[in-house]
Amino acid sequence: MRFDLCNFLHYVLNKNLILLSESQKPRDHLIYVYTTRRGMRRLLALIRLGNLFFGSFFSDITGFDCLPAGKDAGRSISLVYIVFLARWGIKLCMCTSLNNWSRAPIISEFFGGAIWPEREAAELLGINFANKLDVRRLMLDYTFEGVPLSRQFPAIGYEELEYDARLQWLIYHLLKSRDEAELFAF
Amino acid sequence: MVDISLIKESWWGRTLCFLGYMPLGWLRLKFYKLVNWARSGSLWPVTFGLACCAVEMMHTAAARYDMDRVGIIFRASPRQSDVMIIAGTVTNKMAPAVRCVYEQIPNPKWVVSMGSCANGGGYYDYSYAVLRGVDRIMPVDIYVPGCPPSAEALLYGLIWLQRLIIEDETSI
């Protein structure tokens, strides 16, 4: 019997699978799955620990800001895990939604290579991970405040660094020419 | 006993002082030139390659352009060097380390800013995490433009620095 990956995903995720339509069947070796946090963790554990997905590896964690639903709606993030299923040559993208209060599941317990992507996602996207193993900053400065990859954060930032001759050390101060730089009006 | 004020106020006194001081000044100048010539001919930079410009810096030290023939030998320790070549993008996280290394170089010291990122932010000037020019945290003597500047351009900048050192008559 020919193995059908989509039906298998339906079976595994069952009630946790929100959307996997006919149009999203394996085409160009890419599958998008929208699911809950629990279903995603279950599927990723199965991919890592099960014999059926032998040779599969974790690729990346990414995410993007969703447009706010209402005026007072909090921030909504779509978190995407990308896994490559080597047996079928398929890239599986699993997407789930988070808000300001929900915490994403960690997968670094069974995917060791996910430690750095989790640190990166927590730092740049502002995603809260539950029981994160490594809480250190990866790329940004230790005193940096803000979420750089969110929609509200300006690309140029709010502060810049300069040397203070009186204090004889580097200090941050507010960006003076931010408006001019953003509008390219010099 | 001749009163010293009489010497200073008289024309013959001032003439005698000028004629006596002139050889000393000439000697002082020649000595400065000798020391500056020695310093310019043996510039030892501390290795501080940060990004893509570091590869061009390696090219300058490699066989075709060979910085060693003008006396430039890279040193791993800032305590043993007298010039710092900032080759690459300086991020806000890296800036304290750059300043710390600069302060460990003994005087006299010079700084060469290599590439558009070190000169003024460059390609990443509008980024939240990039220092917009290394001259915000330390004084720079030579700016080498380019993205990246060619190995020949860096060598030209270093030769210009040598000229700047030789022609400096104000300090030793």
Query: What average pLDDT does this structure show over B3-8?
Result: 62
* Residue B40 vs residue B12, higher pLDDT: B40
CA distances from A142 to A149, A162, B74, B125 (A): 17, 16, 31, 20
Strands A17-19 and A76-85: unpaired
Q: Check pLDDT > 70 for residue A164.
A: yes
CB proximity list for A144: less than 8 A, separation 6 or greater: A137, B92, B129
Query: Among all residues of chain B, which has the CA nearest to that of A140?
Result: B93
Residue A34's CB is within 10 A of a number of other CB atoms, namely 19
Query: What average pLDDT does this structure show over A148-164?
Result: 87
CB proximity list for A106: less than 8 A, separation 6 or greater: A114, A118, A129, A130, A131, A132, A133
* Residue A87 vs residue B145, higher pLDDT: B145
Q: Cβ–Cβ of A157/B95 closer than 8 Å?
A: no
Percent of chain A with pLDDT over 90: 10
CA distances from A185 to A115, A177, A180, B62, B126 (A): 42, 10, 5, 43, 14
Rounded distance between C-alpha atoms, residue B147 and residue B140, angstroms: 18
Position A21 confidence tier, pLDDT thresholds 50, 70, 90: very low
Query: What average pLDDT does this structure show over A57-70?
Result: 80
User: Nearest C-alpha of chain A: how many angstroms from B165?
Assistant: 25
C-alpha B129: how far from its chain's center?
27
Cβ-in-10-Å burial (0-12, 13-18, 19+) of A28 comes to exposed
Q: Find which of A123, A163, A183 to mutate to test the B interface (most B CBs within 10 Å of its CB).
A: A163
Strands B142-144 and B110-114: parallel
Q: Which residues are registered as beta bridge partners of A98?
A: A77
Rounded distance between C-alpha atoms, residue B166 and residue B160, angstroms: 10
Rounded distance between C-alpha atoms, residue A124 and residue A126, angstroms: 6
Of the spans A32-41, A127-136, B25-34, B122-131, which averages the highest pLDDT? B122-131
Query: What average pLDDT does this structure show over B37-59?
Result: 94
User: Nearest C-alpha of chain B: how many angstroms from A163?
Assistant: 5
Give chain A positions within 8 Å (CB) of B138: 163
Q: Find which of A123, A141, A145 to mutate to test the B interface (most B CBs within 10 Å of its CB).
A: A141
Give chain A positions within 8 Å (CB) of B137: 161-163, 170
Which residue among A142, A155, A163 places its CB closest to the CB of B128?
A155
Q: Find which of A140, A170, A171, A180 to mutate to test the B interface (most B CBs within 10 Å of its CB).
A: A170
Rounded distance between C-alpha atoms, residue B121 and residue B130, angstroms: 7
For residue A107 the two structure tokens come to 């997968």
What pLDDT shows up at residue B2?
A: 56
For residue A53 the two structure tokens come to 């997905």
- Whether the pTM exceeds 0.80: the reply is no
What pLDDT shows up at residue A34?
A: 80
For residue A81 the two structure tokens come to 């895990």
Give chain A positions within 8 Å (CB) of B92: 141, 144, 161
Which residue among B129, B131, B136 places its CB closest to the CB of A140?
B129
Position A65 confidence tier, pLDDT thresholds 50, 70, 90: confident
CA distances from A103 to A76, A132, B48, B116 (A): 12, 10, 41, 41
Query: Which residues does B contribute to its contact with A (CB < 8 Å)?
Result: 91-93, 95-96, 99, 126-129, 131-132, 136-138
Give chain B positions within 8 Å (CB) of A181: 126
